[in-house]
C-alpha cells in the first residue's frame, strides 16, 4: 500500500512576526492574445486582501462560481481576475508584473544579481 504524502503549510510561525507571508502561486498562465503572463493563486480572502495584489476598490465575489475581472487601465495597469471557489477560497489570476513589483525579496535579489559584473551576461559576454 502506497501512502500519500501529507501536505504541510509553508508559512512560518506567526508568533512574533507582523510581516505578511507572500502568496505561493499554484500555476502560471500565459495569454498570447493579451500579451501577458499571469500567476494563479488559491488562497483565503484574508490572505489575498493582505497581499496587496488586489486594489481596495475591487469587489470580492461572495457566491461560489462568481467572479470579477479587471482589465488593465490607467488606475490599475495590470490584468486581474478573482473567482470564488466552492471551498470558499478565492482564485486570483494576476499579471506577473504586479506580483514581481510587490515582492521586495525578489527586487533585492534581482538588483544584486544585475549589479554583479563578475557574471558573464551582466558583463556583456556572449553566452
pLDDT for residue 100? 67
What H or E segment, with its residue span, contains residue 96? helix 96-102
Give me 77's grid cell.
Answer: 495597469
Name the residue among 35, 127, 124 with its Cα closest to residue 77: 35
pTM of the model: 0.61
Span 32-49, pLDDT tens digits: 877 778 889 999 999 999
What are the tens digits of pLDDT across the range 63-122? 999 999 887 766 667 788 999 999 999 999 988 877 766 666 666 666 677 777 777 665
pLDDT at 42 (0 to 100):
95
15 has pLDDT over 50: no
pLDDT at residue 121, rounded to an integer: 62
- In angstroms, the CA 50 to CA 42 distance is 14
Per-residue confidence (pLDDT) for residue 63, from 0 to 100: 93
Continuous segment of H or E residues that includes residue 92: strand 90-95
For the cut 80, the answer to whether the pLDDT of residue 125 exceeds it is: no
Amino acid at each position: 500500500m502506497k501512502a500519500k504524502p501529507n501536505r504541510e503549510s509553508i508559512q512560518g510561525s506567526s508568533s512574533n512576526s507582523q510581516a505578511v507571508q507572500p502568496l505561493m502561486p499554484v500555476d502560471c498562465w500565459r495569454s498570447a492574445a493579451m500579451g501577458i503572463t499571469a500567476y494563479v493563486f488559491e488562497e483565503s480572502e484574508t490572505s489575498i486582501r493582505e497581499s496587496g495584489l488586489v486594489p481596495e476598490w475591487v469587489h470580492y465575489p461572495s457566491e461560489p462560481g462568481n467572479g470579477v475581472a479587471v482589465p488593465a487601465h490607467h488606475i490599475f495597469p495590470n490584468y486581474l481576475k478573482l473567482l470564488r471557489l466552492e471551498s470558499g477560497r478565492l482564485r486570483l489570476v494576476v499579471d506577473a508584473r504586479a506580483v514581481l513589483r510587490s515582492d521586495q525579496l525578489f527586487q533585492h535579489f534581482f538588483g544584486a544579481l544585475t549589479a554583479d559584473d563578475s557574471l558573464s551576461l551582466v558583463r556583456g559576454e556572449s553566452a
